[in-house]
Structure 1
């Protein structure tokens, strides 16, 4: 992909994309330390994408990673607006529809990564963020 961007635009990818990828790697490291198994990275369904799909015990966890500058006006957690929530629901439903056997529990988490000039300063993990209906959390 990087070589494609260089050929297409004659330069490397934008700095913000590199910082976003760095944030995703930091989130992945944090989740692995907590015992999560990574099932998929950057899973796409049409235009929609979810950053990480993990397994913890019998629970499948969909994880959105939000990377922000220290002191940003809107936190990563709060930056997930209704339009993004709907896109996340679509991509998660698509992935869930392909799973066999179906998991017992589904969950949505957010990992917020703060950086200063591209250097990660803090990572926060928010578990079980409301995205799905309560019946979906029971595997219904």
Structure 2
């Protein structure tokens, strides 16, 4: 019995592909065009770039193994949701949301696509309901 439909698997693959293409267009040109070696980058720029490169590689694998790499999409969903709640929402509620922040809010707000792509019944069965791995020898 198939737990997730073939259509949903293709939706997940499309989500991973969207991330792969998006990061290929936004991340890699800055890496390859950088005149500084990685060791000379500002600390947080280096951390962010290498984390996003690792995320990109995992999303490449997600195209082939969409269910096994589901935690990668869940990580993206969580950090983007937390950021939207913690950063722009309070500013918007206070009426101080800066126009400079809006492009980031819209780009990160595209996380709604991840919410739509994830097979939530599968997540429930495999991450919440399923018994966890043992902690010690029986």
* TM-score, scaled to structure 2: 0.27
Larger relative strand fraction = 1
Which protein is bigger by CA-based radius of gyration? 2
Higher relative contact order (CA 8 A, sep 6+): 2
- Higher percent of residues as helix: 2
